Structure 1
Amino acid sequence: MSSADEWTVGRYLATRLEQLGIRHVFGVPGDLLGPFLTIMQETTAVRWVGTPTELGAGYAADAYARVRLADAGADQPEQGVAAVAVTYSVGAFNLLNAVGGAYVEDVPLIAINGAPSYEQWLNFQAVGLLTTHMSPRRESNLEVYRQVTVDAQVLSNPGLAPSQIDSAITACLTERKPVYLEVMEDLWHAPCDAPQGRLRAHERPFTERNQAILDKAVAAAAELITRLGTPIVWAGEELVRHRLERELLEFVEATEMQFCTTVGAKSVVSERHPRFAGVYNGKASLPEIRETFKNAGCRIGLGTWSTSKNLNGEQSIGDDWIVAARGGVSVGALYFPDVQLGHFVPALQTALAGRTFPADHFALAREAGLDVPATTAEFLDSLSSAHPDGTELTYDGFFERVNHFLEHQATGGDPQAPSPFTVVSDAAFALLGSMNLRITERAGYLAQNSWLSIGYSVGAATGVALGRQQPLKRPLVFVGDGSFQEICQELSTHVRHHLRPVVFVLDNEGFYGIEQMLVSPCYYKGRPSDGADFYNVLHPWRYEKLAEVFGSEKDPMRGFELSTHAELDSLLADLADPDNDLNHAPVLARVRLSRHDYPRALQYKVDENCP
């Protein structure tokens, strides 16, 4: 055991995590990782959060990084990082999916893998002796992680370990993507140099050449806006990842342009902003939003990613589009490389100085003869309902009621009060229903909308709850039954660590609804199944009873079964009461829905395929 003032590789890595503001490391332990966890516990303020699955740990770390970045100062990007730790091969391969999602969605994670010792590798090299979890392919773990990280390192020499750790973490901070550190077991207690200074991101230099290209991009964008008029802004994911919400606000307020967001940028600013016009998600947008967005004179994408879930098959770049994302700017058919979003937004605002574009696109669309509400405000208000039509729950009725709860009940009736919840949505019908909730606080909504790994939300709730303790936010989770069955055991993490998420399992009679919609949408028009649906049928669970499985008398969990609006109203009223004992523990609610029901955002699928 090393003395208190001696630096080892394990202490070095733990200290670097602590310096980044990380206070929780998620994962599943193993003998190859255990020494590091002991060192971390003894020498830093970073605490271990053990989870039942490596995948759940990865989801938790992903969400932890997202909310910490959102809550850090805009000038402190190094605070928006998370770490997850597992053991070699069997743990690392289970974690891979979550790290892949973070890579696709620009979430900075540090993935730590405890590996067999250098001595064991030499034995294998000399005589072919395999030890626990080892593969005959020595670099198997490293090779797969190279596909989903911006830097992947194997640490086998304690003398080189500090520089390897620092270079990987610097890449993580700079690129805002995951990195991988595979540390051989006999390095944890091996001596090394002490850390020098703090690690930070290294920004790309802004050169005279960059200024010249920026000027051309801005001039082309300003000319297109002038020529086509009535622009609408489409705010995207990179505004969130690069903490450019202030630049967005200044731009739309100076120009008086209306703005939509992608699902991934939902709540980049408060959706109570008077210029907010809803979430645009291609054909999966609500029809009113889609029509007004398409009928604008031109569209300005700021940090938007062209993903199938953002556009759903619609053309992303045309003669009437401006898109600034992924390190460049497209203006119609013109492309301007190496133009950073943080430079482009204020420069375009300067170019448009003194000019405003105060159109209400809903009003303009109505004047053009489209059947949409008279104003944006009227439409957004219509998505909230204290008393939805009908008795039985439907997807749309459920989310209309939840919308009213979030806007009027959860804050004690004060629309200016901070919300006690952060909404966390899973993929599929849950995402398409929750994307139209009006989130009144910046960064009050979280979803994995590009990678779309089902079950993400339940693990992510752990990261949100632990990452948002000051001020305390309670995860409000929406997850489909198929997604939930992937990762239900992560509920035990919520109970074990005294977290208090509210998890709504949307149970449409045990059915992969989104898969059925994608393969055979005519099923939803009442026609007999064409045989494509048999593999979408799930084994039915009594989800609410899992509260008894994971809870205990000392650490309870409350379970509910909801079939009607009255039952939903009763639960929401209790959740709105801070003095109700229900709010001292996690809540699991099974929402019973018809197998033939679906969010109206997907109506176009039925209309296009089932005449």
Structure 2
Amino acid sequence: MSDQTQSGTPSTATTVTVGQYLASRLVQLGAGHVFGLPGDFNLALLDEMVTVDGFHWEGTTNELNAAYAADGYARLRRGIGALVTTFGVGELSAINGVAGSFSEDVPVVQITGMPSTSARANGLHLHHTLIDGDYDHFFRAYREVTASATIVRAASATRDIDAALMTALRESKPVYLGIPADVAVAPVHAANLRNPLLAATSDAGELERFTEALAEAVAAHDRVTMLVGPQVHRASLEKVVRQIADHDGVYLASQNMAKAVLDESHRASLGTYMGAFTRVPEARAAVDDAELLVLAGTVMSDFLTGFFTQGFDEDAAIELGLTSARIADTTFYGVRLEDSLRALHRVLGRTPRAAVTPVGHPDAVAATAPVPGAALDQAHFWAAVQGWLQPGTTVIADAGTSFYGALDLVLPDESDLLGQPVWSAIGYTIPATLGACVAAPHRRSVLFVGDGAAQLTVQELATILHRGYTPVVFLLNNDGYTVERKIQSPAAVYQDITSWDWTLIPAAFGAADRVVTARATTQDELAAALTLARETVEKAVLIEVVLPKLDSPRLLTVLADAIAAAAARATQPEA
């Protein structure tokens, strides 16, 4: 596509192919890096997409990893991520990752290269099908885990593509586009590309009514407490939240998926709220007993509420959602989160309030001096990491030991925490780290991942290293599935995994010269490894940290106990 500009918008072309049109739209939306694998049914599509200026192909080692990478990319970009797979075998490999994006409100575009329109119409018994003539099995499966699923037709291709992308933007959910091989190369008008897709806007009348009701509700209170959830990140509204926190009279707590939405050193910060598992009792009380509680982009799931131990009345709170807002019994439909938060910022500025007294700021756990030869445990490891982390870090932590250890850290200013506590798929983070590195290449990522989780997706570390990215990877080797051991049957054979020599993995990937490795089994070895990681900036760093099999961080211990108790109750025979 020779007359394409860097923005993905053609300057003079009157027609483009469907593949070029889709790639151009992705570039315009800031999603020009697309992950995936080639397959014979998507080659025609890929050949068109790669001709678009600003489009970058990011090949991954499998389709599940491509979905995770696109998810991590979208989270760091605060926008859309995209992947391309082939029909059947490829898209089914990716569906778990896309389902996770749906669960956690991440707008990922799953693009499937399909057999030709005529093959579908005739029900040919092609490879990658179920040999029953029905080509829509997998399309129907994706309808269950996406906000929209469309098989693109040449006659309506530009409308089909634009409608799907607008749905992803509007609802912050994944969408599915199936593109037959003949449709991928079909010509379509390019005129629409001269007008970039616009974000959805609020209903003006509803927004005015909401703002009036909000002003009345806020004016009656000297203190306003906000509980901020992950949807604030999806809408890229961190700046507005920080402006709200700067008002006198405001406290702000975050759910664990939004831990870093406000620097934890800020006077208004209450830290991370998880109901009964909130680290500082005063912080929990400030939320549960708030004069006026505002729920902003929250998700009220088990792991985010401390297994539903929140002490506040959700119905009595003001609720600001992605596409609607509620005050008392009145719901204001069509009021988007970006506008309701800005309205709150304006309303808070109208009435003076007394400054808040910092409440519940947890002290960073101080590391004790390493004892030469002393074995490591979880408490010493996380305390040592606390003192090592630097401002401006993207902390990425896999489900289980890693995530709940990281949650108890007091993150340095201007840091992010990337995890997946709702879907909680182990292995998510290594490919998500690839996505994060592609999205923010000048920001260093620090990954914490367990040995069991890493065995699912570690091959994507090869992609990270060969692309020249330099994350620090802490491989927590606790010899199996410690979370499950804590919940039930710790000695069961299914809790075990095979033992790998983790520090040799980069060499097996042909990337030994791109990474520095270390293995820490004692406190002094960990101290040396942390010093090495801080001093090594031009290469990636992989540190294997050997920890006790049954040891776990504080927060995971109490959560596992709660899960175990609930599981025991569920399996008791009825009286």
Q: Which of these residues, 487, 495, 498, is aligned with residue 468 of structure 2?
A: 498
8 Å Cα contact 1:59/1:460 also seen in 2: yes
1:96 is aligned to 2:95: yes
Counterpart in the other structure of 1:383 = 365
The yes-or-no answer on 1:175 pairing with 2:174 is: no
CA contact (8 A) 1:544 1:588 kept: yes
* 1:482 and 2:482 are equivalent in the alignment: no
Partner amino acid, structure 2, of 1:562: A
Find the aligned partners of 2:215 and 2:302 in 1 and give their Cα distance.
28
1:593 aligns with 2:552: no
For 1:389 and 1:232, how far apart are their aligned partners in 2?
Answer: 43
**Aligned with 1:500: secondary structure?**
coil
After superposition, the C-alpha distances for 1:455-503 in whole angstroms (9 at most, x for unaligned) are 111001111111112xx12221011222111111111111222222222
Name the CA distance, whole Å, in 2 between partners of 1:587 and 1:49: 22
Give distance in 2, aligned partners of 1:290 and 1:3: 57
CA distance in 2, matches of 1:252, 1:2: 48
| Shift in CA distance, 490/323, structure 1 to aligned 2, threshold 3 Å | same
Deviation at 1:61, TM superposition (A): 0.8
| Whole-angstrom CA distance in 2 between matches of 1:303 and 1:559 | 40
In structure 2, relative to structure 1, the CA distance for the partners of 1:341 and 1:121 (3 Å cut) is closer
Aligned amino acid, residue 19 of structure 1: Q
Quickly say closer, same or farther: Cα 1:357–1:401, change in 2 above 3 A. Answer: farther
Identify which of 546, 549, 553 aligns with 2:505: 546
Residue 277 of structure 1 and its aligned partner are, at CA, apart by: 2.7
Q: Amino acid of the residue matched to residue 258 of structure 1?
A: Y
Q: State how far apart, in whole Å, the 2-side matches of 1:571 and 1:355 are.
A: 50
Contact 2:202/2:339 (8 A) holds in 1: no
Aligned to 1:564: 522
**In 2, Cα distance between the equivalents of 1:47 and 1:566?**
43
% identity of equivalent residues:
29
1:357 deviates by 5.0
Provide the rounded CA distance (Å) in 2 between the counterparts of 1:107 and 1:317.
27
Instruction: Give the aligned length.
Output: 546
Q: Is the 8 A contact 2:83 2:110 kept in 1?
A: yes
Could you tell me which runs of 5 or more consecutive residues in structure 1 were left unpaired when the two chains were aligned: 70-79, 363-375, 408-417, 521-528
Distance of 1:220 and 1:258 partners within structure 2 = 16
CA apart distance, 1:361 = 6.0
In structure 2, the partner of 1:524 is none
Q: Distance in 1 between matches of 2:417 and 2:185?
A: 41
Task: Name structure 2 gaps, 5 residues minimum.
Answer: 5-12, 566-575
Corresponding residue number in structure 2 for 1:526: none
Aligned to 1:523: none
Distance 1:432 1:222, change over 3 A: farther
| Deviation (angstroms), 1:84 | 0.4
Q: Give 1:133's match in structure 2, choosing from 128, 133, 148.
A: 128
SS in structure 2 at match of 1:309: coil
- Give the counterpart of 1:342 among 338, 354, 360: 338
What corresponds to 1:395 in structure 2?
A: 378
Per-residue deviation, 1:195: 4.2
Q: 1:571 to 1:65 in 2, by over 3 A?
A: same
- 1:324 alignment partner in structure 2: 320
Structure 1 CA distance for aligned equivalents of residues 285 and 523 of structure 2: 32
8 Å contact 2:520–2:526 — kept in the other structure?
A: yes
Q: Name the CA shift for 1:195/1:142 in 2 (closer, same or farther; >3 Å).
A: farther
Where 1:311 maps in the other structure, the secondary structure is coil
Aligned residue among 245, 266, 289 for 1:252: 245
Distance 2:438 2:444 in 1: 10
Give the alignment's Cα RMSD to 1 decimal. 2.9
1:8-157 equivalence runs, <5 A: 8-69=17-78, 80-124=79-123, 129-135=124-130, 136=132, 137-155=134-152, 157=153
For 1:159, the aligned partner's letter is A
Q: How far 1:151 sits from its partner (Å)?
A: 1.9
Give, in angstroms, the shift of residue 321 of structure 1: 4.3
CA contact (8 A) 1:170 1:199 kept: no
Q: Which residue in 2 is equivalent to 1:278?
A: 271
- The answer for the alignment partner of 2:387 in structure 1 is 404
Evaluate the alpha carbon distance shift between residue 340 and residue 165 of structure 1 in structure 2; reply closer, same or farther with a 3 A threshold.
Answer: closer
In 2: Cα distance, 1:292 partner to 1:575 partner: 39
SS at match of 1:243: coil
CA-CA distance at 1:565 after TM superposition: 2.2
SS, match of residue 226 in structure 2: strand
**Corresponding residue for residue 429 of structure 2:** 457
Distance 2:53 2:2 in 1: 15
Structure 2 counterpart of 1:310, from 304, 311, 325: 304
Maintained 8 Å contact 2:376/2:523: yes
Q: Separation in 1 of the partners of 2:463 and 2:303?
A: 30
User: Taking structure 1 as reference, are residues 247 and 190 closer, same or farther at Cα in structure 2, changes over 3 Å only?
Assistant: closer
Provide the C-alpha distance between the structure 2 equivalents of 1:98 and 1:498, rounded to a whole number of angstroms.
Answer: 25
Q: Deviations over 1:17-36 (max 9, x none)?
A: 22223332110111111222
Aligned 8 A contact 1:515 1:536 in 2: yes
Q: 1:541 to 1:203 in 2, by over 3 A?
A: same
Distance 1:509 1:607 in 2: 20
Residue type of the partner of 2:276? Answer: K
Matches of 1:100 and 1:586 in 2, distance apart? 30
Q: 1:222 to 1:311 in 2, by over 3 A?
A: farther
Distance in 2 separating the partners of 1:341 and 1:283: 28
